[in-house]
Amino acid sequence: VKHYNYSIIFSAGKEFDSRLTKTGRRSLSHSISHSSTDSNSSGGSDAENPEDEVSPRDMQQINSKGNMDFCIKNIKLADFGRREIELAEDEMTALMALRKAAQGEKPLAAAKIVGCTHVTAQTAVLFETLKVLGAQCRWAACNIYSTQDEVAAALAEQDFPVFAWKGESEDDFWWCIDRCVNVEGWEPNMILDDGGDMTHWIYKKYPHLFKKVKGIVEESITGIHRLHQLSKAGKLCVPAINVNDSVTKQKFDNLYCCRESILDSLKKTTDIMFGGKQVAICGYGEVGKGCSAALKAMGSVVYVTEIDPICALQACMDGFRLAKLGDVVRHVDMVITCTGNKNVVVREHMDLMKNGCVVCNMGRSNTEIDVNSLQTPELVWQHVRAQVDHIIWPDGKRIVLLAEGRVLNLSSSTVPIYVLSITATTQALALIELFNAPEGRYKQDVYLLPKKLDEYVASLHLQTFDAHLTELTDEQAKYMGLSKYGPFKPSYYR
């Protein structure tokens, strides 16, 4: 395969200036394989209509073109979903500029991409961009609550093979993934994953498919952890690009996105007032930094827990109180996990919490809060509203568990479309890079996105603000040992 000429893509910046941005909205949630289980509560999703009791797997649907290669909630929602996608396109100007600049050369021609990400208006813009760039795609959702059913319908109406609906069961979740992979006469040669579930399923059920797979693009910290485990065990048989640790993803999707969405998420689920509230935030990475800053600005007293002395020192220098969770859990009003780890908040912590304490997760998976430990006979689960459950102790004390421990902002609120544009553009470029890389450039290992592409994603979005970069002179570039056009940071910079 010839190496793709990125000059075509870089010209997208010229088209970018002419596009105007508008506001939009998005609602989705994250999951990994062991977080896709059925709800323990009586509700857990907004879909409580009697019609929702009929599984899409038991319905035969057909789009206006006579195509049946999809499984969604309701194909009749397609027009509504198309309007949602068009709204997202207006805000995702960089991805649209990339689509326009590269569509003539079709850098993904002959690519067969199988994906497991969220199925929302914003990710739909990515899916359709990949199709415009020449790829064939099949898609499933990476979480049982993340899908916007109207968007799935809009995709299906355009003959996009999508298998996803909001409120899937555990069995549905894996069935949808299998429908993407187990197709007669069609085998994927690229994987786009968010959480590692698609990669895991192929390794488990169809390992022979990796003979044709050219690479994996993974978005989440959980999926990256899985890939590194495979690599260390010598079982990673294709190259992978880690877009989660690209600078643009870390800084914007994690820091700035969570700084805005945490407040909206808490308001929508609890109607809580933040001023004067005591909050324990577990983890001071990019997500923890964003959440801490937002709550501090609203007048909350914020405690931070950390294992990393560098992040801990940053928290202290930013004016937060560093503590152990066990030392403050008795008197805080909220506990928010932001670590990506497991069992950060366990039953012993929750037994000590005061009445009305809000417990939620902003990290990658639902493993941070030990929700399984709350599924015992002496505790009563009271479903209050979508994504809100009261867990009641025998003495009458109750804690407020949000989104059943899944990612709060992605389950219960909105995430700025602009932020998602950054991540989606990064994913698209990573797929182009892996698919067109000459043989031998990437070995069977996990790589970061090339810094040149990382900077290019930022430059496309920078133009939204009518911002103008300063250009190095030849003398300055020589003095710094840099190209005038980048990359400006070493490959290890994060």
Q: Would you give per-residue pLDDT tens digits along the chain (494 residues)?
A: 445 666 555 555 554 444 433 333 333 333 333 333 333 333 333 444 544 578 999 999 999 999 999 999 999 999 999 999 999 999 898 898 888 887 788 999 999 999 999 999 999 999 999 999 999 999 999 988 879 999 999 999 999 999 999 989 999 999 999 999 999 999 999 999 998 999 999 999 999 999 999 999 999 888 999 999 999 999 999 999 999 888 888 878 888 889 999 999 999 999 999 999 999 999 999 999 999 999 999 999 999 999 999 999 999 999 999 999 999 999 999 999 999 899 999 999 999 999 999 999 998 778 899 999 999 999 999 999 989 999 999 999 999 999 999 889 877 877 788 888 999 999 999 999 999 999 889 999 999 988 889 898 988 888 778 888 899 999 999 999 999 988 888 877 77
Structure tokens at 225: 């952890």
Contact 74, 149 (CB under 8 A): yes
Give the model's pLDDT for residue 38: 35
Q: Identify whether 487 is preceded by a cis peptide bond (ω within 30 of 0).
A: yes
Residues sharing a CB contact under 8 Å with residue 475, sequence separation 6 or more, in sequence order: none
Give the model's pLDDT for residue 101: 82
Task: Report whether 211 belongs to an annotated binding site.
Answer: no
Give the model's pLDDT for residue 103: 73
Contact 428, 459 (CB under 8 A): no
Task: Report whether 337 belongs to an annotated binding site.
Answer: no
Strand partners, 390: 382, 400
- Cα maximum dimension of the chain: 74
Task: Report whether 286 belongs to an annotated binding site.
Answer: yes
Task: Report whether 249 belongs to an annotated binding site.
Answer: yes
Contact 180, 138 (CB under 8 A): yes
C-alpha separations of 258 from 80, 129, 251, 422 in Å: 28, 26, 10, 14
Strand partners, 282: 305, 337
Task: Report whether 288 belongs to an annotated binding site.
Answer: yes
Give the model's pLDDT for residue 359: 98
Task: Report whether 285 belongs to an annotated binding site.
Answer: yes
Task: Report whether 128 belongs to an annotated binding site.
Answer: no
Which bin fits 103, alpha (ψ -120 to 50), beta or left (φ > 0)? alpha
Structure tokens at 290: 């964003």
Residue 71 to residue 51: CA distance in whole angstroms = 16
Residue 185 to residue 342: CA distance in whole angstroms = 40
Contact 391, 93 (CB under 8 A): no
Contact 369, 336 (CB under 8 A): no
Task: Report whether 150 belongs to an annotated binding site.
Answer: no
Look up residue 186 and give its DSSP letter. Answer: B
Task: Report whether 283 belongs to an annotated binding site.
Answer: no
Give the model's pLDDT for residue 23: 36
Task: Report whether 271 belongs to an annotated binding site.
Answer: no
Q: Going by DSSP bridges, is the β-strand pair 358-361/380-385 parallel, antiparallel, or unpaired?
A: unpaired
Give the model's pLDDT for residue 12: 52
Residue 484 to residue 471: CA distance in whole angstroms = 7
Task: Report whether 219 belongs to an annotated binding site.
Answer: yes
Give the model's pLDDT for residue 4: 61
Task: Report whether 290 belongs to an annotated binding site.
Answer: yes
Task: Report whether 289 belongs to an annotated binding site.
Answer: yes
